[in-house]
Amino acid sequence: MNGAKYDPDTFPGLVFRLSDPKTATLLFRSGKLVCAGARTLEQVKSAIGTVVTNVRRAGFTIIGSPTFEVQNIVASADIGSPVNLTTVCLTIGLDKVEYEPEVFPGLVYHMDNPNVVLLLFGSGKIVCAGARKPEDVESAVSKITKELRAADLLL
């Protein structure tokens, strides 16, 4: 199959890379699929559909149509202002953040509501991981921005 790679010595699943949409779908013996890289639900559907079609063409039986659920959205944002991460760490509280600049240049913020992890960088850039819906990303970025503004932490 074009775009498919299977090397059980290095990884237990078949890796199926597509250029349109640009995704990588992992297919395991259990029948489970993991699709990464899609930017929309339509791209997820398209990628999974293409993989299923190719697996069927290769002679494998797939009963029915696969169902899927979004389990992890990773998104980036920019709050438009530099941030002093040491001050943020001390102000927000050590129970919610991890900051070890010698190991990683970003502050790791474990947010409870929504339940996501934010990586905050001194440049003001943010990476949000763990969201299950786009609204969680918007809420988390809005919440951290308000929190930083309220504490006068934006430079």
Q: Which domains can be identified in the chain, with CATH numbers?
A: 4-57 (3.30.310.10), 73-150 (3.30.310.10)
Neighbours of 44 (CB within 10 A): 21
| Strand-pair partners of 65 | none
Per-residue pLDDT reduced to its tens digit, 21-55: 999 999 998 889 999 999 999 999 999 999 999 98
> Cα separation of 28 and 11, whole Å?
10
Q: Output the CA–CA distances (angstroms, integers) from residue 2 to 13, 32, 57, in the order listed.
A: 16, 20, 12
Q: What is the mean pLDDT of residues 125-132?
A: 96
Alpha helices (H) in the chain, listed in sequence order: 41-57, 85-92, 134-150
Q: What is the pTM of this model?
A: 0.81
Average per-residue pLDDT for the chain: 92
